[in-house]
Amino acid sequence: MPNDPALKIADTFPFWTEERVRFGDTDRLGHVNNAIYGTYLETARVELMQQLLRGPETYFVLARMSLDYLAEMKELGPIRIGTAITGIGRSSFTTGQGIFQGEMCSATGEGVVVLVDAETRRSTPLPEDVRAALEKLKPKNPGE
């Protein structure tokens, strides 16, 4: 669940993606537009999925996404998106994510990603090597 308190702690995440808040990401009040938070989470998920894919016969699709806004972001510049695998199913996995600007966690999110067979366009079981890679990305205990 995106409101899991562990997702607000940077030490939880084994996988990190760097991104930037750009001027075009902000609204007329100077805040990062709420729709952009989903884009930041997508950037990190896609980076992770690209590392897991093995060929054109399968691909990943996002089946569900939820997002909790915790603090406004106003500053242009670097941010980090942490990702952990919080669940592994037969043909899917769940990501828990946090968006950090400096030490501040501005949002947490959860996404369910499904592996799809390109020919049948139906879900297909996760291969064992993908499962093993996902297992290594489970949340860390803060302070480890």
Confirm if 107 and 72 have CB atoms less than 8 A apart.
no
Among candidate residues 28, 110, 16, the one with its CA nearest the CA of residue 63: 110
CA–CA dist 94, 54 (Å, integer): 19
Is the pLDDT at 99 greater than 60? The verdict is: yes
pLDDT of res. 88? 97
pLDDT of res. 2? 56
All structural domains of the chain, each given as residue ranges with its CATH number in brackets, are 5-135 (3.10.129.10)
Is the pLDDT at 59 greater than 90? The verdict is: yes
Q: What is the mean pLDDT of residues 94-123?
A: 96
pLDDT of res. 6? 86
Q: What is the mean pLDDT of residues 13-41?
A: 94
Is the pLDDT at 1 greater than 80? The verdict is: no
Q: Which two tokens stand for residue 20?
A: 């930037």
